[in-house]
Amino acid sequence: ELIERGYSPEEALDQLIRGDEGRDRRQNAIIDSKGRTAVWTGSRTSDWAGHHCGVDYCAQGNILTGPEVVQAMAESFESSSGPLAERLMDALDSAQGAGGDARGMQSGAILVVEPRVRGAFHDRVVDIRVDDNRAPLAELRRILDLQRSGEMLRDINSFIEQGELARALDRAHGAVSKSPSNDNAHVALANVQLRIGDRDGAMASLRTAVDLNPGRKMTLQRDDNFEVIRDDPDFLRLIGG
């Protein structure tokens, strides 16, 4: 609210801190739409605690192994490019590589919203979290890759309808590459392969999908995209027909 009223990040943070009796044990950071930052690390925050900020970002934490953790996070973010979620993911990996949380790993989360939030479902571009896992960052990246794979799949039907099978095939391969464990991606790839006359490739993709998710045997029986191979002996064996 203070930022919306025209306060700078420094002014807004100063207002918040002055009225906070627990400020000595707290960490706060504010980044506005212009990339300006303001940050606070209380003097009684659990050691090691600190921050490193730059244009458009602020890396901070407490109970870390040392200052090299936030430094690694900052260096990663400054040197990276591409989608924001992937840059944040890389920064988290860099922080962990520098020592991370002194207590070890348990959880992680990434939230990316649209520049202009309207209170709609689609305001959240990426909203993923891992609450309890022995390798939370690896799991977080797997989930992010799964989301990206799903985003690619949404384009395929449109390309097919437009007769752009080469683009559909490229997008399907991209979805499989991004998340090899995504059975939906393998089924989508099989659909495109069948349309371009690659029957053997389609069957190989379908076998992979069924290996990943045996429940696919039932859904493939009803999938009209595979009507042309409905009586194919290999297809029937695959789906248990």
Mean pLDDT per block of 10 residues along the chain (241 residues) reads 90 92 94 93 95 95 98 97 97 98 97 83 92 97 97 94 97 97 97 98 98 97 95 96 68
State the total domains in the chain: 1
Alpha-carbon torsion 161, 164, 165, 170, what sign?
Answer: negative
pLDDT at 121: 74
| 40 within a domain of the structure (yes/no) | no
| 211 within a domain of the structure (yes/no) | yes
In total, the chain counts a number of residues equal to 241
| 77 within a domain of the structure (yes/no) | no
Query: Contact 165/195 with Cβ under 8 angstroms?
Result: yes
| 224 within a domain of the structure (yes/no) | yes
CATH number for the domain that contains residue 230? 1.25.40.10
pLDDT at 116: 80
Residue 205 belongs to domain spanning? 134-241
| 46 within a domain of the structure (yes/no) | no
| 124 within a domain of the structure (yes/no) | no
DSSP 135-157: SHHHHHHHHHHHHHHHHHHHHHH
46: alpha, beta or left? (left if phi > 0; alpha if psi -120 to 50): beta
For the chain, counts of helices (H) and of strands (E): 9, 6
How far is 144 from 91, CA to CA, in rounded Å? 14
| 206 within a domain of the structure (yes/no) | yes
| 237 within a domain of the structure (yes/no) | yes
